[in-house]
Amino acid sequence: MIAKLILASSNEGDVILDPFLGSGTTSVVAKKLNRKYIGIEQNKQYCAWAQYRLELADSESQIQGYTDGVFWERNTLNIQNKIKNKKKDL
């Protein structure tokens, strides 16, 4: 949900604040969408997971659930593939 808000209500270069960072999903999406990000998390394990995920974001630019400028609901991969195949056939 937060990831959708990042895209819908911000522009490249904007700063995104997540005061309850958890495993860093918001920061990872912000990074992939060329936003600056600030995350606050008190649990050291979650901080480590977020840091690891942010490092992975450098090598993997794809955003899970976000394709061709559209956020897809979970479990819709079959629908996405059908749409892509129809576009190829045109």
How much is the pLDDT for 38? 94
Average per-residue pLDDT for the chain: 82
**Is the Cβ–Cβ distance between 53 and 22 less than 8 Å?**
no
What's the Cα-to-Cα distance from 36 to each of 11, 12, 15, 16, 72, rounded to whole Å? 10, 8, 5, 6, 24
Domain of residue 44, CATH code:
3.40.50.150
The H or E element that residue 70 is part of is strand 70-71
pTM of the complete model beyond 0.85: no
Model confidence pLDDT, tens digit, residues 19-55: 999 999 899 989 988 999 999 999 999 999 999 999 9
- Domains contained in the chain, number: 1
Residue 81's domain comprises 2-89
Span between the terminal Cα atoms of the chain, in Å: 33
